[in-house]
Each structure stands twice: as structure tokens, then as C-alpha cells.
Amino acid sequence: MKKTLLATSILASVVSATAHSATVYDKDGTTLKVGGRAEVRAEFIDNDEGSITDESRARINFGGETKISESLTGFGFMEYEIKPGEEAKNRYLFAGFATEFGKFSYGRQDTANVLVSDMTDIASYHSGIQQVFDASSDKEDNTFLYSNKLTDQLTLQANYTASDVDDSDSYAISGLYEFDFGLALAASYTDTEADQNQATLGAAYTLDNLYVAVTYAMGDIDADNDFRSIEAAVQYKFTKEFRMIGIIGQAEEADVDTEDFYAIEAQYRFNKSIRTYVSYALNNLDDSDDSLIAGIRYNF
């Protein structure tokens, strides 16, 4: 990574939650950013328990960096989430150093597989099935992460997660290559001491206002059972404000279907701070209900 890009790229690349954060301090090579969201959303249902489930949430995050030398920068990030009637929950808490050879961090953070699974996890609610077990998921404790954008096209990540459960440590490695003509290809592999493993492949293509992506995952959920899953996503921006998103998700574990749905979302962004959306998912599994979500989200 070029030294001139080192300090400015850390917060933007560490986690997407900082995309709308505001700089509240910037002096002598040290910056602090604050961001978050207030998101009210409801799931409309039709059963004996009622007609609406409140899925609202609020988040607040703090991220900072400090320039130590021309080739060394320290950074840290934390984020909390609050849901109605619940205590605040820690989502992220990590810190580390950025060097000429990449970024090194430790704490509660994403595993390397998320670099691939995020390619199709683009909807407000109905997406994100490719984080099959904890070791391949986001927001994992005791995670050591290495990330390096070797070129403008190639990004590599690797992590080791030390579990507080015996014989449950894990590691993962991933890579993403972005071609100049809009195509991106990615792959990751996760393995654990608990006989779980996951290989994930991803491909995405961007052409003007169109984005399409697909991810495929396979592996073992334990010593005796395997799994397969596929998620496809498409997004089209009709205007600067209005976009449509479509999601297909299918998965099976131990020869039993665990996901089988089609979802469509309409989203209107008044500006970078506030948006509204409606998302409907048709669930094809037996004894499973369809899902209709409507929400308003304010980023700050």
C-alpha cells in the first residue's frame, strides 16, 4: 500500500459502518469520527401473536486513527447497537496498526469470509445467509485479522479466532480481485477445530447503475453433516434516489432445506442521511411465513 494512501484509507476500509461518519477531531495526525444510525422498522405478520413485530434498532460508533510515522498508523473502532427494551450490545471493538505491509488488528471484528459474503449481503433485511457458522461470520470475539490491499485490484485477508470454548479455534483466508471492467471475483476458506469448514466463492459485476452478484458456499457443519448454500443479488438504481434490490437465497444442511426464499426491496434515498424501504420475502419452506418489512433509516 502506498504510504500516501495509508492514513486516509484506514477507517473507510476497516468497516463499512463508518461510511457516513463525521469527523469531530482532526489535529496533529490524529482523527476521531463518530457515526451511527437510527432505524425504525416493522415486520408485518399475520398470526395469533399479533400483526407487527418491531425490528427497530439504533447504532453508534466511534473510529479513530493516529499517525505514528510515515509508515505506521494506529487505529481503533467500536460500535454499539440498541434495540427497544434491550440493553446495549457491543457489535465491534478492535484496534491495531496499519503498515506498509497491511493492517493488523485484534478484537471483536469480522472474519476473512465476510470479504466474500458481503458481495451479496446488500439488502436492508433479507440477505446475508453465507455466514453459516460463527467462525465464518462478522463480529467475532478474540479475532486477529490481517488485511492488505496489495494493488488497486487485489485485496487479501486472513484471520485467526481464539475461542473461549475448548477445541473451537478457527482460521480463515480470503482474496478479492476487482477487474477494471466491473467484474470482481472472490474466494475464502474457513476451518475450525470443531470439525467445521466452509469454502465460499463469489462473483460480482457492476455496469453503470446495475449490480449483480452471486455467492456459493459449501462445507461441513460437523463431522457427519455437510451444507450447501447459494445467494444471488441484483440491484438497479433507476434514479439517484430510487433503487430496487432482488435477493434469492437457498441452503441445505444435512440434506434438509434451511433457506429457500425470494425477496424484493424498493428503496428510496432522499439524501445520504435518510432513506425509506419496503422489502418482501416469499418463503418457500414448509411451515414458514412470508415476510414484509418496512423501515425508515437515518444515518448520522
Q: State the average pLDDT over residues 16-34.
A: 83
Stronger pLDDT, 180 or 10, i.e. the higher one:
180
What is the residue whose three cell numbers read 505514528?
68
Residues 6+ apart with CB under 8 A from 203: 119, 183, 184, 185, 186, 213, 214, 215
User: Rounded CA gap, 199 and 36, in Å?
Assistant: 32
Stronger pLDDT, 11 or 58, i.e. the higher one:
58
CA dist 96 → 3, 48, 107, 147, 148 (Å): 17, 49, 9, 11, 13
Q: State the average pLDDT over residues 4-29.
A: 60
Q: Is the pLDDT of residue 209 over 50?
A: yes
**What confidence tens digit (pLDDT) does each residue in 249-288 have?**
999 999 999 999 999 999 999 999 999 999 999 999 988 8
Q: pLDDT at position 279, please?
A: 97
User: Rounded CA gap, 77 and 11, in Å?
Assistant: 8
CB 290 within 8 A of CB 283: yes
Strands 30-47 and 50-54: antiparallel
Q: What is the pTM of this model?
A: 0.89
**What confidence tens digit (pLDDT) does each residue in 42-101 have?**
998 765 566 788 999 999 999 999 999 999 999 999 999 999 989 999 999 999 999 999
**What confidence tens digit (pLDDT) does each residue in 105-159 have?**
999 999 999 999 999 999 999 999 999 999 999 999 999 999 999 999 999 999 9
* CA geometry: angle 110, 187, 77, nearest 5 deg: 20
**What confidence tens digit (pLDDT) does each residue in 149-168 have?**
999 999 999 999 998 888 88
Residues 6+ apart with CB under 8 A from 219: 132, 190, 196, 197, 198, 199, 226, 227
CB 54 within 8 A of CB 45: no
What is the residue whose three cell numbers read 446495475?
210
